[in-house]
Amino acid sequence: MKIRHLYLGLCVPGVIVPYAFFLPWLLDHGLGGGRFLRDLAANRISLFCAADVVVSAIVLFRFAGVERREGRLARVWPVYAATLLVGVSFGLPLMLYLRQARMEGAHPEREG
């Protein structure tokens, strides 16, 4: 198995695992942002987890930008979208997959 296939495979649990927790909460509470922020900041451990994810997302965005400028990534918007819509658990393996596929010449996005 090529490493890019592993990265692509890791996108699946990267979407399923976070949404397994988020979707039931969403069904119970709806899209009200106030409740989400209150629950997110319910205690110091949840704030610790939220801060860790935010810092990791910022690092991932910077990493993706550098990889784009260096020519190892064709586009950064899929990584940004995956991270903002799901989280780092999806954005990071997606970026690694896109980067590896481009480096191997196995991805259709060969243009700059």
pLDDT digits (tens, 9 = 90+) for 70-97: 999 999 999 999 999 999 999 999 999 9
Domain span holding position 77: 3-104
pLDDT at 110 over 60: no
Q: How many domains does the chain have?
A: 1
Q: Give a yes or no: residue 73 inside a domain.
A: yes
Q: Give a yes or no: residue 71 inside a domain.
A: yes
pLDDT at 111 over 90: no
60: Cα within 13 Å, side-chain hemisphere: 26
- Write down the pTM of the prediction: 0.88
Q: What is the pLDDT of residues 18-70, one digit of tens each?
A: 999 999 999 999 887 789 999 999 999 999 999 999 999 999 999 999 999 99
